[in-house]
Amino acid sequence: MPALQLEPWLTLGLPLLFITLLFQLGHFPDWRPTPPPTQHHAPRPLRPRTPDDCPACRKGTETPASAPPAVPYAQRKSPRGRKKTIDPQGYACPHSDCKCGGITDAASHTLIAYGHHGRHELIQDFYCKACRRKVTARRHTPLYRLKTSSGRVAQALPAIAEGLSPCAAARVFSISETALRGWLTRAGQHSRNLHEHFLHALHLTHVQLDEIRLKLYGAAEAKWLPPRPVTRPQAETPGWIASDARTKLIPAFVLGARTQEFAHQLVHDTAKRLARGCLPVFSSDGLALHFYALTTNFGSWVQAANERRRTWCVNPRLLYAQVVKRYRRHRITEVRHQVLLGQPEAVSRQRLLDW
């Protein structure tokens, strides 16, 4: 009795199984199931941000009150006396309480040559007539109060910059490794001060925003770097960089993770170094963090007459384009250009003028 009940199911199941095997083996090549229609979703448009989203803009920078211009010393001194034999142009009195403090013009400050000092090499000294104090020519330099000769320091630091480790440099130049690391810290701090002093009021035409990965050796001892947690002494450190496409000048760089906070910091520092009225073309990869940082720092608040709230309006002259690359097995398979701010014709024309 049970065998008679299973016979209809076997009669229907065996043909179906046979037809399925024929489909799997490819005996019906002309017939293909119709795939469901694919829905192509357009990319979501990016919305501009405001300065309230930028930590550096929220802090605000108060410009100190400028001191009244000092009367040049050449107009106040007597025409008598010995003429200067050593030109003090470029040197300044480092004391903040001095009337001529920070003035590097030889016609305005009161510095005169005041002999030399030093055991291995002669170091020029100056005397400030305004505050009546002695000043050395090495003040605010990496060589200040170093007993090692400047020639030896000039040999060791470039070798380390070319990739020689401090341990190997200590053995090659017969110098203590602790002293070498101290020179590196001095040189790094001095380089940062020079970067802050000279790179301002820049006239740039095309700025590229990108991310880099660096290997920092001894980053824990480098006091001129921003504080950050260091897990491994030689681990790769992510960073942000803004460079001029024509001169390859780097007006701003930031060491930090790939987050919106560091993107704001990079663009804020770049905008601070541009000249008044200068608005270059910006380009980057497909990372949306650059778009939010640019719209935050280039714009103005607008308040209508009948509205109580202000509205942040992005500068209409701002031009920003992205170069989106797609990879497959570590190879570039597609390169696509898209303009997010401004007209494509204006971006193309500006880039052609730049190159």
194-209: per-residue pLDDT in tens? 998 889 899 999 999 9
Show the domain range for 122.
84-140
Q: Are 310 and 301 in contact (CB under 8 A)?
A: yes
Q: Are residues 323 and 178 in the same domain?
A: no
Q: Are 25 and 19 in contact (CB under 8 A)?
A: no
* 72 lies in some domain: no
Residue whose C-alpha is closest to residue 44's, from 291, 263, 283, 210: 291
Side-chain half-sphere CA neighbours of 48 within 13 A = 19
Q: What is the pLDDT of residues 331-355, one digit of tens each?
A: 889 888 889 988 888 777 766 545 4
Q: For strand 299-302 and strand 311-314, is the pairing parallel, antiparallel, or unpaired?
A: antiparallel
For the chain, the average pLDDT equals 81
* 38 lies in some domain: no
Going from the C-alpha of 308 to that of each of 56, 269, 305, 312, 314, the distances in angstroms are: 25, 31, 8, 13, 19
> How confident is residue 156, by pLDDT bands cut at 50, 70 and 90?
very high
Better pLDDT: 3 or 287? 287
Q: Are residues 99 and 211 in the same domain?
A: no
Q: Are residues 210 and 289 in the same domain?
A: yes
Angle between helical axes of 150-161 and 166-173 (0-180°, round to 10): 140
Q: Are residues 131 and 275 in the same domain?
A: no
pTM reported for the whole predicted model = 0.71
Q: Are residues 240 and 285 in the same domain?
A: yes
Q: Are residues 189 and 125 in the same domain?
A: no
Q: Are residues 129 and 244 in the same domain?
A: no
Q: Are residues 350 and 205 in the same domain?
A: yes
* Angle in degrees, CA 131, 133, 135, rounded to 5: 120
Going from the C-alpha of 269 to that of each of 48, 188, 199, the distances in angstroms are: 19, 19, 11
* 338 lies in some domain: yes
* 39 lies in some domain: no
Q: Are residues 124 and 182 in the same domain?
A: no
Q: Are residues 214 and 321 in the same domain?
A: yes
Better pLDDT: 153 or 109? 153
* 349 lies in some domain: yes
Q: Are residues 285 and 328 in the same domain?
A: yes
The total number of structural domains that make up the chain = 3
